[in-house]
Structure 1
Amino acid sequence: MTTTQKLKPLFKHLHLYTNDESYTFFPAEPPNAPTLTVHRTSGDIVVNPPGTPPPRGAIRYGRAIHGIVGMIALTMSEYLIVITDCERFGGISTSDIWHAKEFEIMPLNPNVSVQNPSHPVEAYLLALVKSHLNGGSFFFSHTWDLSRRLQVQWLSEKVDSGKAMWETADDRFFWNKFLQSRFIDVATATPDQDLSGYIMPMIYGTFEVRRQIIKNFHVLLYLISRRSRYRAGTRYFRRGIDEDGNVANFNETEQMIFVDKGDSEEQKFPHLLSYIQTRGSIPLYWAEINTLRYKPDLQIMEGDERLAATKKHLTDLVNTYGEQTLVNLVNHSGHEQPVKEAFEKYCSQLEIPKVQYEYFDFHTECRRMRWDRIDVLIDKIKDDIEDQGYFSLNSETDDFKLQGGSVRTNCMDNLDRTNVAQAAVAKYVLTKQLRDVGVFGENETIDDHEDLLAAFRELWSDHADSISKAYSGTGALKTDFTRTGKRTKKGALDDFYKSTMRYLRNNFFDGARQDGFDLMTGVWTPEHGTAGFLISDDRPLIIRAVPYISWFSVFMVAAGLTLPRSSDYSLFAYFLLWFIIFGISFTFILAHGIDYVSWPRLISLSSIINYNGPGYRGGNHGKGINIPTIDMPQLKAKTKAKMLARIHKRGASNMNEIEMGTKKRVD
């Protein structure tokens, strides 16, 4: 394999000309490249012949465009999304890897303003788009397919030669494929219109590289993670598996090293090595339902059809990666015990060939901050790691080895414990790889090379933080061990702070964030009609009023501290009254916690909240006392009826109201 891919390259820089009729993109290079026009009135996408001049009266956009993310249709207009600023994060061979930093959202409808939408529903949906783009971690390359691991690229090198990057990208990790669907449809329907230079796949994940000199060897150490666009979302609103076998928070992590013996001025890095691990939510139908309590309400939904989904997930892993070692790190007792037992029961019933289950009680084995005992896990699975191997290629001699399996790791969130375990596996494999290519002696390890060890720890700690922010909203816990090899009290305090922030984000902010995932990946698509519930609050009046009563009682207690002390008895009665009111209102909020969580609005979770079938369910704390939980589908129907009545009463509206529609996936 050459380290320069033979795919059709993307255009690196585009000049944009715009008027009320069209957006027209001109590649900065090569000269006489075909241009692209998106017609604003019809939405048509057309490739123009080389040499086509800018449209008459068009104005050149003031910033260079680094790539087209795609198009999304909301309620008042379609919108074109482009990258206006990016940062180079390193390179693979001669290919630069870029991190998208700033985006521009451009309406096709010239009467629509992105900054000041004329309708509150459109404003809400645009805010979701902006938040998702600004809060994500998106990487792309104009000449390297970041979505596929090195081994797959090498195996398909001849078949892929001359293809467009969007044609070869791994469907799971082509994050903006839904946004690019309009462009892909045109490219598929009209092959004579060459859109290959404009359809740019992005991954949502991480990319880091460090250069090390070890003895007389130059070593490039890479770490790449790719987040699946299927069942994507936030920590508590996307758990478990779907009927297609996709699990929440599925990430493929690739650790690559390129090695060159530094005895010549030209560094060619002939030795290319790669090792793959995966993580993902426990492949069962399960959920943790937020109730404002620190520990959410655990629910496991069982049934024969659900067992089939687990089988599909594990079979797909075997077909994609080879033999699987399933490392389960959840606790053997307490809140997590039912999930552990259900997972083990399913694995026992399925007995899928080439799938091995390995349980490691992380918190028991590593209690009292003895996290070095993660080596116990490595000892248990090292035979599997050795048998599965890793990808290795000497590009000068064409000698190669293939990775024939992978380790799939999970804890409850697939974040903190999983990060520690994956880093330990990666460290073990990296030592073996460097020995096999002659960089290390037979008894040498990474621990013998301080600079390499520091770079390795930094890579894996940054990687852990990025994956955690994408799923939970905060950086990873336990990264003090990953960064330093030791568990510290300062790290424990930092974990306390992050845990507190996770609680607040997951209960009060993640609903909108989940809506952003569903909108941008095509799980939910807007249709014309009504959707007033996006901007209305139809909870019972008492539910809405109690938090105000609680805050008012706090205000009155604070105000009482400034009152003149004419009578200690009257002040005591005053404070007692407001403390009692606060206590009653606060107890009411906790008792009805589900009604105060920031739930997603686009995709209802009422079927999970109100599930009453076979399986395990917790105490359902937070559903309230004699006050029914709000049923979102009924709420939508009631709201729609009210909106339609108002529309009928006032006559024709000056805009089409909005209705919500759901789709499983649109590619």
Structure 2
Amino acid sequence: MRQKSRHYAKIQTVEKAKKDIPASAVTTDIYGIIGTVRLVAGMYLIVITKKKKVGDLFGHAIWKATDVDLISYKKTMLHLTDIQMQDNKTLLSMINNVLSTDGFYFSPTYDLTHTLQRLANTSPEFQEMSLLERADQRFVWNGYFLREFSAQPELHRFACPVVHGFIVVHSCSVNGKYFNWILISRRSCFRAGVRYYIRGIDSEGHAANFVETEQIVQYSGSKASFVQTRGSIPFFWSQRPNLRYKPKPQISKTVNHMDGFQRHFDSQIISYGKQVVLNLVNQKGSEKPLEQAFSKMVSSMNNGMVRYIAFDFHKECSHMRWDRLQILVDQVAPLQDEFGYFLVDADGTVLSQQEGTFRSNCMDCLDRTNVIQSLLARRSLQAQLQRMGVLHVGQKIEEQEKFEKIYKNSWADNADACAKQYAGTGALKTDYTRTGKRTWWGLLMDGWNSLIRYYRNNFSDGFRQDSIDLFLGNYAVEEGDSTSSLHVQKDWKFLALPIIMVVAFSMCIICLLMAGETWTETLAYVLFWGTASIGTGFIILYNGKDFVDSPKLVQKEKMD
């Protein structure tokens, strides 16, 4: 499709509009339309201008969007004031901030938002619907931008539902038999956001950082899949950044947790069947109350469809004893066998269906969670490949050195992608996922990533959260208006206290380097400036929430 001249403020197909296109119109090749968004300057059309092929899925090309363009409907910005120009520039940077985050995928011909099992259980009428109409809205990240397209059926074929997460397609060989192995992680756009600012659930039961991960095998016409989910602990809790390395989680005392909790699991059961909750948080310290509350709520549901299993990941694997993860895998093995997996033969006959899923979580639903999911997925894959005849009886995936390397690296890449999208850095513990061993180098890299997370969570995630809220339509902009939320004035403490602390600390160092006439005089100066420096630091830490980069567009109360 080619984009028309910017002079027009409406969308039409070329067939209908070609009589009105002036000869001077400039056309550009694009690979997909993400949608339209209204900012201070007016409407913008968002298009994909560069793409990278991920692979083929059942004969359909899967692409990653690598570059986009926002095309203004207005020919000039002369109608804007200086403040409006600056606001519009900021809002544009927010949209680009989200779109520049790695992990947006699309296909012009295949529905990436649904699992194989969901697609197999649909009607012929569903199969005839456009991708826009039939997409699972949980995973359409540009759903807000496609509203105008949804209202015009003739434009549906141009609309491009985009998923966010991770997709990899590998052609593999074991025992001389070739098969395709695919890993797809779909991040939900409901209650989406960044680590610390978006935790728990909302009133509709949508969990923060909810991800549906599907592992697919295609061999000789047969197709199999195994689905798992991850998501924040599903009740109302928060963990606001406050300059401390690990803010203390707070469980809300003013809401009825069970309403949202019940809605969450009702939705899970409808979508995935029986649920086994794998809670990997610490069972001591600041995480202990969350584990206790989660266990109590599952028990109070009195629902045979949900089973709760707590596994203190850090305690069990302390002192580099990562082999102890097998304890959990063995514990849930009977339940995994009961759930099974989806399998359809070359003739399209469904041989088995997955009757339930594992819902895994840690605090962030990133690092610990991904390790456990990769182990459960391997166990399912072992059974699938044996049933398909790729593996001989008694053969183990771990023994297939070439494929095992592909498998481990792909799951580690999946961890990195989901972590960057939520926490701002690559995942922790990926040395184990990639190699099967915990290493000192891996510990060092985890420390480095933790430091980067600390900085971003405290000093740049407010902007990232605003960007996501704008992108998903949680905050709407009116054309021509000044976005007053962007002009929040910082309290005097924000500038004064850091300056005082830096000056005091500098003077303390100077006094140490340039000693006075007597040691008592030097000590007095050092104690004075040192006390001023430390005291100011404590005041800053005590008022930590005033110094972090907080979201401006959506009020904090609406995110709890």
Return the letter of the residue paired with 1:532. S
CA deviation profile, 1:123-180 (whole Å, cap 9, x unmatched): 2222211111112420001111111111111222622233211011111001100111
Q: Report the CA distance shift for 1:132/1:110 in structure 2 as closer, same or farther (over 3 A).
A: same
Q: How does 1:242-281 map to 2 (within 5 A)?
A: 242-260=202-220, 270-281=221-232
Bigger mean CA deviation after superposition, 457-466 or 351-360: 351-360
Bigger mean CA deviation after superposition, 448-457 or 122-131: 122-131
Q: Does 1:173 align with 2:124?
A: no
Q: Report the CA distance shift for 1:54/1:134 in structure 2 as closer, same or farther (over 3 A).
A: farther
Q: 1:242 touches 1:309 (CA, 8 Å); kept in 2?
A: yes
Q: Does 1:86 align with 2:51?
A: yes
CA deviation profile, 1:458-478 (whole Å, cap 9, x unmatched): 110000000011111011100
Q: 2:146 touches 2:159 (CA, 8 Å); kept in 1?
A: yes
Q: How does 1:56-455 map to 2 (within 5 A)?
A: 56-61=22-27, 63-112=28-77, 119-156=85-122, 158-187=124-153, 194-260=154-220, 270-302=221-253, 305-396=256-347, 398-455=349-406
Q: 1:291 touches 1:297 (CA, 8 Å); kept in 2?
A: no
Return the letter of the residue paired with 1:120. Q
Deviation at 1:183, TM superposition (A): 1.4
Deviation at 1:581, TM superposition (A): 2.6
TM-score (norm 1): 0.79
C-alpha distance in structure 1 between counterparts of 2:225 and 2:24, whole Å = 48
C-alpha distance in structure 1 between counterparts of 2:348 and 2:238, whole Å = 51
Deviation at 1:93, TM superposition (A): 2.5
Q: Secondary structure at the match of 1:119?
A: helix
Deviation at 1:45, TM superposition (A): 2.6
Deviation at 1:16, TM superposition (A): 2.5
C-alpha distance in structure 2 between counterparts of 1:525 and 1:286, whole Å = 26
RMSD after superposition: 2.3
C-alpha distance in structure 1 between counterparts of 2:213 and 2:380, whole Å = 13
CA deviation profile, 1:254-296 (whole Å, cap 9, x unmatched): 0001113xxxxxxxxx111111000000101001122211120
Q: Give percent identity, aligned residues only.
A: 34
What is aligned with 1:55?
A: 21
Deviation at 1:48, TM superposition (A): 4.4
Q: Report the CA distance shift for 1:242/1:608 in structure 2 as closer, same or farther (over 3 A).
A: closer
The structure 1 residue matched to 2:484, chosen from 528, 532, 545, is 532
By relative contact order (CA 8 Å, sep 6+), the higher-ranking structure is 2
Q: How does 1:485-564 map to 2 (within 5 A)?
A: 485-527=436-478, 531-539=483-491, 541-556=492-507
Q: 1:71 touches 1:78 (CA, 8 Å); kept in 2?
A: yes
C-alpha distance in structure 1 between counterparts of 2:162 and 2:131, whole Å = 11
C-alpha distance in structure 1 between counterparts of 2:386 and 2:59, whole Å = 27
C-alpha distance in structure 2 between counterparts of 1:75 and 1:397, whole Å = 51
Q: 1:142 touches 1:200 (CA, 8 Å); kept in 2?
A: yes
Return the letter of the residue paired with 2:130. A
The structure 1 residue matched to 2:3, chosen from 12, 16, 19, is 16
C-alpha distance in structure 1 between counterparts of 2:451 and 2:91, whole Å = 29
Q: Secondary structure at the match of 2:185?
A: strand
Return the letter of the residue paired with 1:217. K
Q: 1:274 touches 1:391 (CA, 8 Å); kept in 2?
A: yes
Deviation at 1:344, TM superposition (A): 0.8
C-alpha distance in structure 2 between counterparts of 1:182 and 1:119, whole Å = 25
Structure 1: unaligned runs, 5 residues or longer: 1-13, 23-39, 188-193, 261-269, 610-667
Q: Which protein is richer in helix relative to its size?
A: 2
Deviation at 1:607, TM superposition (A): 7.5
Deviation at 1:64, TM superposition (A): 2.1
Q: Secondary structure at the match of 2:395?
A: coil
Q: 1:120 touches 1:535 (CA, 8 Å); kept in 2?
A: no
Q: Report the CA distance shift for 1:566/1:249 in structure 2 as closer, same or farther (over 3 A).
A: closer
Q: 1:68 touches 1:83 (CA, 8 Å); kept in 2?
A: yes
Deviation at 1:372, TM superposition (A): 1.9
What is aligned with 1:469?
A: 420
Q: 1:18 touches 1:59 (CA, 8 Å); kept in 2?
A: yes
Q: 2:84 touches 2:481 (CA, 8 Å); kept in 1?
A: no
C-alpha distance in structure 2 between counterparts of 1:498 and 1:538, whole Å = 29
For this pair of structures, how many residues does the alignment match?
Answer: 556
Deviation at 1:452, TM superposition (A): 1.2
Q: Report the CA distance shift for 1:558/1:68 in structure 2 as closer, same or farther (over 3 A).
A: farther
C-alpha distance in structure 2 between counterparts of 1:457 and 1:542, whole Å = 48
CA deviation profile, 1:51-98 (whole Å, cap 9, x unmatched): 93571143324x521111111112231211111111111111221111
